[in-house]
Structure 1
């Protein structure tokens, strides 16, 4: 009887709406970032629009902006957490439920211009010192390609890695191309100082749900996003396209 009572309490404690879930994100502009105390970005705006379409709101206190390594571990542990923007990969596939896609993405290796680094295959990656954020898609891809852990210099932020690359402390930086460009532009450094020299993966960004999340809530958000993408408004575009263009 005691066990049944505890089970009932756990069941009743489950979130009954999307707005009750805990949302975790990082500084990953132009997809999600904070500006003057306000969360912005393609993924943030799409999430808010999708919840509004589903008849729900997104309380400000329900979104936490955290360093990626911490957010990733929290999402894996649950309960009922949503991590975004998350690159969907084979390695991560079974760790989450997925809603999206949010947008296409490309993870690249950046070098200082003039470095004359010319990579023809993944077999050559072990020859370089490469910077990556811990538990980020860049680090996970490098390890999956067989790059020795000792060749990967880890940091907790994109700005730290950008500084390391600029000062020559690493030869390459593994990161999402648009986010890297955004960080370079906002750092005050000349963008021409850096160049993409190799593409690690082309993929898509998603909202990653903890495995214990109610499947009906996952379906609800997916349906709202699908509708936002498919329904056109007066100017011949849809709300999804408007959100994308706002940040380009």
Structure 2
């Protein structure tokens, strides 16, 4: 009987352990945190997670999709995860969380050449058109505050997709940060000199790795522990600095 139990443990336990050590991590085009370059998914949070998985001895694969598809894929895959995502109240119970990852305070930005855009409080932004990504936490945030599609919000496939229209003055406001906006602008040979922040969006905070509820808790904790060690060692900050645009 003991021999049978031992065989069952070796077979089923080994297979369970193998599955629990594999993760499929979904993300979107969100430079500098995640993007594709020369057929490889990279970016600051991608490389942080790549190193984190290696340290935690987890086989992690990466897929880059439009945000809504990435979100749905992480929810439907029992070994799935999603990054870089905000840990909002509505999402809290949907996932297990590891983080925070690289992140910067978000603002609404305007072009300096458009001083007529005046936003002293968030409700003032209803006078203008704001670019948002479909299914993104900022889209959800603005909708809860009474902003409406077509009247106040313009949907795009990714957070950065509206950048050329913004630079042309065809979109009034964009959500970004001091870490992210320079990367978006550099793609169009522009710098932070052409934009200015008009109001902070402090109700939305943090970038995280969100893991499916069926990912083993022990694995989630191991990832968190290794991430904490990466911060203490300076390895985390070193990766972030590699992807900064001056």
- TM-score if structure 2 supplies the norm length? 0.82
- Tell me the equivalent position of 1:49: 51
Match of 1:173 in 2: 174
Is the Cα–Cα contact under 8 Å of residues 87 and 205 in structure 2 kept in the other structure?
yes
Q: Deviations over 1:184-203 (max 9, x none)?
A: 11222454332222212362
Tell me which moved more, 164-173 or 94-103.
Answer: 164-173
- Are residue 126 (structure 1) and residue 126 (structure 2) matched? yes
Moved runs in structure 1, 4+ residues, more than 4 A?
12-15
Q: CA deviation at 1:162?
A: 1.1
Aligned-partner SS, 2:89: coil
Residue 17 (structure 1) aligned to one of 17, 20, 23: 20
> Are 2:20 and 2:79, in contact at CA under 8 Å, matched by a contact in 1?
no
The structural deviation recorded for 1:159 is 4.6
Pick closer, same or farther for the CA change 1:180–1:241 going to 2, 3 Å: closer
The corresponding residue for 1:3 is none
Structure 1 pair 188–115 and aligned structure 2 pair: CA distance change class (3 A): same
Paired with 2:174 and 2:50, the residues of 1 have a C-alpha distance of 32
Is 1:207 the counterpart of 2:209? The answer is yes
In 2, Cα distance between equivalents of 1:159 and 1:203: 18
Partners of 2:185 and 2:48 in 1: how far apart?
A: 25
Match of 1:74 in 2: 73
How many angstroms apart in 2 are the aligned matches of 1:159 and 1:46?
Answer: 21
Query: 2 CA distance for matches of 1:53 and 1:78?
Result: 23
Partner secondary structure for residue 104 of structure 2: strand
Q: Which residue of 2 aligns with 1:185?
A: 186
Q: Mind listing any 5+ residue stretches in structure 2 that lack a counterpart?
A: 1-11
* 1:244 to 2:240 alignment: yes
- Residue in structure 2 matched with residue 139 of structure 1 by the alignment: 139
CA deviation after TM superposition for structure 1 residue 163, in Å:
1.9
Q: Is the 8 A contact 2:30 2:158 kept in 1?
A: no
Partner of 1:6: none
Give secondary structure in 2 for the equivalent of 1:203: coil
Contact 1:48 1:57 in 2 (8 A): no
* TM-aligned CA distance change 1:42 to 1:188, over 3 Å: same
Deviation sequence 1:25-83 (CA, Å, 0-9, x none): 1221221222222222221221122222223444xxx2111111211122233332111
The correspondence of residues 227-238 of structure 1 with structure 2, limited to 5 A, is 227-230=229-232, 232=233, 238=234
Relative to structure 1, the CA distance from residue 140 to residue 106 in structure 2 (aligned partners, 3 Å threshold; closer, same or farther) is farther
Give the match for residue 114 of structure 2: 115
Give the root-mean-square deviation of aligned CA atoms: 2.3
Q: Which runs of 5+ in 1 are unaligned?
A: 1-8, 233-237
Q: Give aligned pairs, total.
A: 228
Q: 2:88 matched to 1:89?
A: yes
Query: For the structure 1 residues 76 and 177, does the alpha-carbon distance in structure 2 shift closer, same or farther, using more than 3 Å as the test?
Result: farther
Residue aligning to 1:197: 198
Residue aligned with 2:131, SS: strand
